[in-house]
Structure 1
Amino acid sequence: MDEPPLPPAPPLETCYRHPEERTAVHCTRCGRPICPACMVPAPVGHHCQTCVEEARREFRRGGLRVGARGLSATRVLLGAVVAMFLLEVALGGPGSFAGGSARTLVDLGALVPVLVATGQWWRLLTAMFLHAGFLHLALNAYALWLFGTLVEGTYGRWRFLAIYLVSGFLGSVASYAFGGLDVATLTSVGVGASGAIVGLLGAFIAYNYRRRHHAIAWANLRWALTIILINVVFGLTFPGVDNKAHLGGLLAGMAAGSLADGVGPARSRPLTRVLGFAGLVALGVALAAWRTAVIRTRLAAL
């Protein structure tokens, strides 16, 4: 018995940019036929050159860059942490250059849980501008320059500042609220901008995750997640790293970044943004108040 003839193969299309090149591959974003020379790897399949250029223009525009002209907020923050370090050295003496003077750091606003519990809540903010020695400052200053430039260029100056401060505050709150109740922990001295800086990375992740269908955003996500993995390994390997502050800052940055990018209908986004940031601050205040009550009860029992 003879088998029926097979249907003819569908004719190959030609590349939209190179008509002489036949292809069966299409851009997974717009559907244009593309030849190997025009294929750009994407999370799923390939994108054409036109879609990649459109994605690049979208990222350059950002859509959120308010107050792009004028003094960079990243540079202002860098100047602030450097100025505070110079003040630390001036007050603590030359020996504080390498490792920091605990007394000087406490006087300038370091995070000491037992002092926060006695009413010195401002330490949850001031600690992010202090550093324990030049190496600590140098590492955080480099990270602030790297991530600050990216996030400020994406969100604009004022939203970047809001993300940074809220992330730093909630990073300090996480360190304070979820630390131990032993005497050593309650009297420990905590400083550093790392909670706020990791928050910037969280905001960068939130922004690119929303646009993950673009090849550029997908590459940004992989890079950011690699940085987080390195930080996790670093935090688990070396003692003295405040992983609670890092995790709190990261989660706060992701939430703040999503709010700054825009949540809900476009018409209601300004109000949603203000209420959302206020809610994050209120969450931090509530956690700090709860922890303060716990610590005071603990101290009363000693």
Structure 2
Amino acid sequence: MGAMAEDHLPFPPAPTIEVCYRHPGVQTRVHCTRCDRPICPDCMIPAPVGHQCPECVEQARRDFRSGPGRALRGGVSATNALLVAIAIPFVIEVILGGPQALFSPSAEILFDMGAMQPIAVADGQFWRLFTAMFLHAGLLHVALNAYFFWLFGRMVEASFGRTWMVLIYVVAGFLASVASYAFGPVTTLAVGASGAISGVFGAFIAYNYRRRQHAMNAANLRLALTVIVLNAVIAIGYSSIDWRAHVGGLVAGFALGYLADSSGPARQRAVVRFAGVATLVVIGIALVLWRTAEIRSAFPQFFG
């Protein structure tokens, strides 16, 4: 009778023992939800989701107090300030255009106030790539954008602080205009905050994607997917929607949100953030220069 073979049952691997990054003698299984470093009970600071380490909390406070955040005193949020910046130009549109401008301001008024028009931009009016994000083509347009921005802007500002809120809005809005300018028809007359707001939404996605292991963040991602699908369906049904700006803003906002939420030591995060934002801006400028040369070459009759 042959010998019975031994069964070698595999043992589960020993659990990885982690120690607090600030207190090497203390074991822990909890990580900072912002930078993902292990933290002990003495270093845990409650956050909207999980806990954060002291460095991340202090960095968020510095972001909150610096730059545009310092200028907004008395508890005024960047989200509310940007909503006012969106509303004021619309009031001016109505004053200039009369009652009919409440629902459909004329192309002349929108152009004069800074709508993005490719021929005009190619003629050197590059400021239109910024001013267009504060103009709207009627009450419904501005109301929907304002509501959507209020809904997600508060969450993004709570996650990243006021400085990053303003930076995401302006840079993503600029890159949304660049996408419309670079890849849209030259007959475009583009207005609306939706490109910038898509950027804010992209930052919201980035923040929750990094924390997708948590139930609340996973639910936020499902909500984001639903919103994207609905917007895609609406864009298919309405040819007047500048989907290029929406996509450009969304991608830029996701990248900015990922940069704002980068992990690692504070100095390293600062370098990565600066390099990342600078790279996005340089890409935008390069696309503007390329498209400008293309338009001026194709339509020399419009340029002296």
TM-score norm. by structure 2 comes to: 0.76
* SS of structure 2 residue aligned to 1:95: helix
Query: Cα RMSD over matched residues?
Result: 2.2
Structure 2 unaligned regions, length at least 5: 1-28, 30-45, 66-73
In 2: Cα distance, 1:264 partner to 1:297 partner? 47
Structure 1 unaligned regions, length at least 5: 1-29, 31-52, 181-185
Matches within 5 A, 1:116-155: 116-155=121-160
Deviations 1:239-269 (A, max 9, x none): 2011100000000000011111125554311
How many positions carry a matched residue from both structures? Answer: 246
Residue 300 of structure 1 aligns with an amino acid whose one-letter code is P
Residue 180 of structure 2 aligns with an amino acid whose one-letter code is S
* SS of structure 2 residue aligned to 1:254: helix
2:117 to 112, 115, 137: 112
Which moves more between the two structures, 278-287 or 259-268?
A: 259-268
Flag the 1:120–1:55 CA change in 2: closer, same or farther, 3 A: closer
1:221 is displaced (CA, Å) by 0.8
* SS of structure 1 residue aligned to 2:240: coil
* SS of structure 1 residue aligned to 2:99: coil
Kept in 2, the 8 Å contact 1:212–1:218? The answer is yes
1:99 is displaced (CA, Å) by 0.8
In 1: Cα distance, 2:266 partner to 2:145 partner? 36
Residue 212 of structure 1 aligns with an amino acid whose one-letter code is R
In 1: Cα distance, 2:170 partner to 2:242 partner? 18
**2:76: which partner in 1?**
71
**2:294: which partner in 1?**
294
In 1: Cα distance, 2:263 partner to 2:297 partner? 40
2:88 to 83, 89, 102: 83
Kept in 2, the 8 Å contact 1:263–1:273? The answer is no
1:56 is displaced (CA, Å) by 3.1
> Larger C-alpha radius of gyration, 1 or 2?
1
TM-score norm. by structure 1 comes to: 0.76
Flag the 1:264–1:295 CA change in 2: closer, same or farther, 3 A: farther
Q: Are 2:164 and 1:159 aligned?
A: yes
Flag the 1:292–1:211 CA change in 2: closer, same or farther, 3 A: same
Q: Are 2:179 and 1:192 aligned?
A: no
Matches within 5 A, 1:206-245: 206-245=206-245
Flag the 1:138–1:54 CA change in 2: closer, same or farther, 3 A: closer
